[in-house]
Amino acid sequence: LQGIFVLGLPYALLHSGYSGLFLIVVAAALCCYTGKILIICLYEENEDGQLIRVRDTYEDIANACCKNLSPRLGGIVVNVTQVMELIMTCILYLVVSGNLLSHSFPYVPVTEKTWSVFAFITLLPCVFIKTLKIVSKLSQLCSLVHFIIILLVVTYCLTQIHQWSWAKFKLSIEFEDFLVSIGVIIFSYTSQIFLPTLEGNMKNPGEFRCMLNWTHLFACVLKTTFALTAFLTWGEETKEVITDNLPSFLQTLVNLCLLTKALLSYPLPFFAATEIVYACISRDNYSNYSSPLLALGVRGSFLLLTLLMAMFIPHFALLMGLTGSVTGAAMTFLLPSLFHLKLNWKKLSFFEKCADISVFILGFLCSLAGIVCSIKGLLKVFG
């Protein structure tokens, strides 16, 4: 919930003004809601009225919804969407790592792509990750590094408090820039891909809803504080990545922290993507799933794929925006609300049905706006 997207929030406020602060709060509430209804779809009531977990993954939910059309159609669509988004995320971390290394050591005559290869070498041990416990430890370190970054930036901003002025906020906004801001804010909260696995691995799954409430509340407070203090400090001079506004002595330190965060963030989407592939392979032949050689082969192939795509795909950021507009909106808003309506229609109140339909429409509009903006950006680059 506190990913690298957070560094773009001050820039989003530049283009969205006061409405951006409102969007940060609304996005937290919406993403928390869709996370809850997605997990509800994993459960069914038994004869005694008790909730029993009858599904384990996002794929299982999709198959249950599409079983009248095809037993596996929903699962195939969801798996392809998940793997695309997860691979794109892994590639983005490699691209970002190369960029950060290049900016941290500008005097070294090495290209960004070469730096990405060095970052890739440090990620080779990922092929030996077998359980979520290892990933959770790395994610814990990632969170610690993230808090250090936030603390450094906010502390510097507080030293400039004498320059702050609420007059820096815009009252009028440009529609297209506003759409970009919506995308940055909403997708800084996305975590739905990981939630079924996370809930299934909790010691006490009954605490899931409480955990989701507190984490989204905490994330909302941190995002608002960070975005607000940074924007009030730099105003119209706020850059796309806020660390570019920092003085040089602090920028290098923060960039190295960001590099550490990017490398520690890589294992989570990598592990999730390989687990989806394992599940697909094991469905027909369980012995293959337990084969250590196959496991290493799949993980190694994924690692190599992310490096090759990071090295050779031109204008990856724009392509990432286009893919994310489709996969991100689908996994975060469209599918959870659609599945919840399909599986629980008879049990839902009128208000709950209206809420799900509203979330679906909002997700569709966000996706459409993101696709249009990304295509315009690609046409401008290639034109």
The model's confidence at residue 290, banded by pLDDT at 50, 70 and 90, is: low
Compute how many other C-beta atoms are within 10 angstroms of the C-beta atom of residue 63: 20
Helices (H), the chain: 9-16, 18-40, 58-65, 73-104, 112-122, 132-159, 175-187, 195-201, 208-234, 248-265, 267-284, 286-289, 292-312, 316-329, 335-344, 350-382
Quote the CA–CA distance of 67 and 60 in Å, as a whole number: 10
- Please report, rounded to a whole number, the percentage of residues in the chain having pLDDT higher than 90: 30
pLDDT value of position 225 = 92
Amino acid occupying residue 159: T
pLDDT value of position 157 = 93
For the cut 60, the answer to whether the pLDDT of residue 286 exceeds it is no
The model's confidence at residue 348, banded by pLDDT at 50, 70 and 90, is: very high
The model's confidence at residue 349, banded by pLDDT at 50, 70 and 90, is: very high
Quote the CA–CA distance of 36 and 41 in Å, as a whole number: 9
Write out pLDDT tens, residues 174-201: 777 777 777 778 777 888 888 988 898 8
Q: Is the dihedral of CA 46, 51, 57, 63 positive or negative?
A: positive
Cα 310 from chain centroid?
18
pLDDT value of position 40 = 94
pLDDT value of position 33 = 96
Q: Which of 8, 33, 12 is nearest to 22 (CA)?
A: 12
Distances (CA, A) of 369 to 252, 310, 321, 329, 374: 35, 26, 11, 11, 9
Average pLDDT over residues 332-350: 92
pLDDT value of position 317 = 61
Cβ atoms of 208 and 200 closer than 8 Å: no
Choice among 3-7, 32-36, 274-278 with the minimum mean pLDDT: 3-7
Q: If you average pLDDT over each of 33-37, 268-272, 308-312, which comes out highest?
A: 33-37
Write out pLDDT tens, residues 110-141: 888 899 899 999 999 999 888 888 888 998 89
- Please report, rounded to a whole number, the percentage of residues in the chain having pLDDT higher than 70: 92
pLDDT value of position 288 = 45
Domain ranges of the chain: 5-382
For the cut 60, the answer to whether the pLDDT of residue 22 exceeds it is yes
Average pLDDT over residues 2-31: 84
Of 179 and 210, the one with more pLDDT? 210
Cβ atoms of 23 and 182 closer than 8 Å: yes
Helices (H), 66-189: 73-104, 112-122, 132-159, 175-187
| CATH number 1.20.1740.10 is the correct assignment for the domain at 5-382 | yes
pLDDT value of position 289 = 45
Cβ atoms of 61 and 339 closer than 8 Å: yes
Quote the CA–CA distance of 238 and 228 in Å, as a whole number: 11
Write out pLDDT tens, residues 34-48: 999 999 999 998 888
Write out pLDDT tens, residues 70-85: 777 888 888 888 888 8
For the cut 90, the answer to whether the pLDDT of residue 212 exceeds it is yes
Quote the CA–CA distance of 379 and 265 in Å, as a whole number: 31
Quote the CA–CA distance of 267 and 81 in Å, as a whole number: 19
Q: What is the mean pLDDT of the chain?
A: 85
